[in-house]
Structures are given as structure tokens and as C-alpha cells.
Amino acid sequence: MTSQVTTYKSRPNLLLWYSADEPDGSEDPLNATSMAYSTITSIDVYHPVSLVLNCQDYQFQSYAAGADIILQDTFMIGNNVTWSNEWNTPCTPDYGDCGCDNCKGVFEDISNRMDEYTQRMQILGWELEKSLWAVPQGFGEEQ
């Protein structure tokens, strides 16, 4: 990571650093995003650090601590939010990956998740420190 940040930090077309893709879904170590953030910002203070969270509320505070921009990717477009095709199981709080924790399968799931994350950031006192972006996308048939 250090060599990549050092190599690309002066590029005029660099918008931000993307440090983690759904660390909450893959259960990365809780301090992984903060460690990445510290490393990146020690080399480049001019570009924000971002990461995308997948879960509704799995260790939000620990993972979100490691970014300036929190992205959420609620997969509700073309998605069955009750059955996991990948694992051939129903989606419950215990298992199954349906791309949208506790969603109803409607477009408003995206704005609802944005509202939930916004409230969480306000509770944590981060509303002036961090930004929230949405990454709406379809689910399944990635190939």
C-alpha cells in the first residue's frame, strides 16, 4: 500500500483512495481499515480515503472509523432479498448473502440505508467529519 500511495498520490486524476471493499461482509480485522487509513494519510493528506460497507450494522463504528467517505452498496436492483442464490439458503440474520440486510427488495432500500448510516454517523459525532455516498448496483450474474 505504501508504494502504491507514494507512486500515485500526485496524479492529477486521482479522486480518492479506496481502502476496503466490504470489510464488514468478509469480517476483516476490526482495526484493518483504521490501520490502512493511518498508513495512507501519513503519506498523502490531500486525497480522502474511502471504503464501502455492505452490512446494515455489523461493526459499523469500527470499520467506518477508517475512512473519510463511507460508501454503502445496497444490492436491491434485480435481487431476491429473501433467498441466497450463491449459498442456496434463505437469508436470515445467521446466514445467506442476499446483498441487502433486512431489505424489502424495493428501490427505497437504498435511501433507507443512507438514512440509517446518516443517523449512525450523527450518533457517533461524525456528521461533519465524514461523507456518505451510495453505490446503487444490481446483484447476481456478475460474469
Mean pLDDT taken over the chain: 87
* 39 pLDDT more than 90: yes
* 40 pLDDT more than 60: yes
Q: Which amino acid is at 140?
A: G
Return the percentage of the chain with pLDDT > 90, whole number: 55
Residue 143 pLDDT level (bands cut at 50, 70, 90): very low
3-state secondary structure of 55: coil
What pLDDT score was predicted for residue 97? 67
Question: What is the average pLDDT across 73-99?
Answer: 75
Quote the CA–CA distance of 49 and 26 in Å, as a whole number. Answer: 19
- Of 9 and 75, which is predicted with more confidence? 9
Quote the CA–CA distance of 72 and 129 in Å, as a whole number. Answer: 17
3-state secondary structure of 58: coil
What pLDDT score was predicted for residue 107? 83
Quote the CA–CA distance of 71 and 92 in Å, as a whole number. Answer: 23
**Domain residues of the chain, as ranges?**
2-138
3-state secondary structure 70-113: EEECCEEECCCCCEECCCCEECCCCCCCCCCCCCCCCCHHHHHH
Quote the CA–CA distance of 16 and 130 in Å, as a whole number. Answer: 13
What pLDDT score was predicted for residue 92? 76
Quote the Cα angle for 25-31-36, to 5°: 95
> Which tens digit of pLDDT belongs to each residue from 99-141?
777 888 788 888 999 999 999 999 999 999 999 998 877 665 6
- Of 56 and 59, which is predicted with more confidence? 59
What pLDDT score was predicted for residue 54? 83
Question: What is the average pLDDT across 2-18?
Answer: 96
Most confident range, picked from 15-19, 21-25, 83-87: 15-19
